[in-house]
């Protein structure tokens, strides 16, 4: 049984690591659309077309039993299109606004995400439905996903820039202050240790990875262990659409148990950032 995990880059690895814990034994195919990265500033219609086109080819080639869209920027936009078009179950990743609203003591929550995610009507609906008694601040960062990509490849983080990016999350109103920051982009958990050090006061940093893995388990958990793949015969692989995996990227992927592979021919068209099909 194969699970396809998809993101615009390597941020989806924060979801993959929980999937490994909660759904051991399943073969993983990780697809990172690094040629399209960052998704945060894409207009919506071409982004939908691009992602649907990518999925069409990936599902044809790898025939997964389940696909996880490990990207908030994509999931807050694309899930209806994917579910209409394809038959397999999909799990999307969206900012955990409901759990944050249930957990906050001060009632002040910040959602740190890409500019695309914070503008989505889907997120506005989540807030309306689950957090209407809370004070929710949305912060769209243009730089954080890129900072995370660099950091994950072993480059030092620019602390001043990082502090600047997270500062708007911290608000004080009279006696109350923000007590939860939602990491609404799958790249951000890889910066959370630094964020914690730079935060003006301690907060709870919430990310949805475990919930995504549990949701995936609920959809395919009934599968018999005898159907587990043999890692010798079908290793876990990663395909990045740019088709250029340098040594730091290969090292990162192999740290997550993924062998970097050349993109399949069907994905060649997506090497072009503008390509939509
Ligand atoms: N990892 C992605 C997310 O969860 C987005 C990064 C980007 O492509 O801008 O939103």
Instruction: Give pLDDT tens digits along the chain (277 positions).
Output: 899 999 999 999 999 999 999 999 899 999 999 999 999 999 999 999 999 999 999 999 999 999 999 999 999 999 999 999 999 999 999 999 999 999 999 999 999 999 999 999 999 999 999 999 999 999 999 999 999 999 999 999 999 999 999 999 999 999 999 999 999 999 999 999 999 999 999 999 999 999 999 999 999 876 656 566 777 678 999 999 999 899 999 999 999 999 999 888 888 888 888 776 6
This prediction has a pTM of: 0.95
Nearest to 154, CA basis, from 33, 10, 272, 261: 10
pLDDT of residue 267: 87
Separation of alpha carbons 95 and 211, rounded Å: 11
pLDDT of residue 268: 84
38: Cβ–Cβ under 8 A, 6 or more apart, which residues? 8, 9, 73, 114, 145, 146
pLDDT of residue 224: 59
pLDDT of residue 227: 62
82: Cβ–Cβ under 8 A, 6 or more apart, which residues? 51, 52, 55, 67, 69, 90
Residues flanking ligand 1, CB < 6 Å:
7-9, 11, 37-40, 71-73, 114, 117, 145, 185-187
CA-nearest residue for atom 2, ligand 1, is 71
Active site residue 169: no
**Catalytic entry in 58, 134, 169, 185:** 185
User: Do 112 and 182 touch, CB atoms closer than 8 A?
Assistant: yes
Nearest to 119, CA basis, from 82, 162, 77: 77
pLDDT of residue 221: 74
**To which residue do tokens 């209409």 refer?**
84
Active site residue 58: no
pLDDT of residue 131: 98
Residue 169 tokens, joined? 């999350």
Separation of alpha carbons 250 and 239, rounded Å: 11
Q: Which of 5, 8, 183 to mutate to test the pocket of ligand 1 (most atoms within 8 A of CB)?
A: 8
How many A from CA of 186 to the centre of ligand 1? 6
**Catalytic entry in 58, 71, 134, 169:** 71
């Amino acid at each position: 049984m194969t699970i396809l995990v998809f993101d615009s880059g390597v941020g989806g690895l924060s979801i993959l690591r929980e999937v490994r814990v909660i759904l051991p034994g399943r073969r993983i195919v990780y697809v990172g659309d690094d040629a399209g990265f960052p998704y945060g500033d894409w207009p919506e219609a071409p982004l939908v077309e691009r992602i649907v086109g990518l999925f069409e080819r990936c599902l044809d080639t790898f025939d997964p039993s389940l696909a996880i869209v490990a990207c908030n920027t994509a999931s807050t936009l694309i899930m209806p299109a994917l579910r209409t078009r394809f038959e397999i179950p999909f799990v999307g990743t969206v900012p955990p606004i409901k759990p944050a609203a249930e957990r906050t003591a001060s009632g002040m929550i910040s959602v740190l995400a890409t500019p695309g995610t914070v503008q989505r009507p889907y997120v506005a609906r989540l807030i309306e439905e689950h957090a209407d008694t809370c004070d929710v601040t949305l912060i769209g960062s243009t730089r954080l996903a890129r900072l995370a990509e660099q950091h994950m490849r072993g480059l030092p983080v620019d602390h001043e820039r990082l502090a600047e990016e997270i500062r708007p999350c911290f608000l004080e109103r009279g006696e109350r202050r923000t007590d939860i920051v939602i990491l609404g982009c799958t790249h951000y958990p890889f910066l959370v240790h630094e964020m914690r050090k730079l935060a003006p006061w301690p907060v709870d940093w919430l990310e949805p990875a475990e919930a995504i893995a549990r949701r995936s388990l609920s959809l395919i958990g009934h599968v018999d262990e005898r159907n587990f793949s043999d890692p010798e015969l079908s290793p876990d692989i990663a395909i990045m659409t740019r088709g250029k995996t340098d040594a730091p990227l290969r090292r990162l992927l192999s740290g997550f148990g993924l062998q970097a592979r050349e993109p399949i021919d069907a994905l060649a068209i997506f090497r072009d950032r503008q390509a939509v099909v």
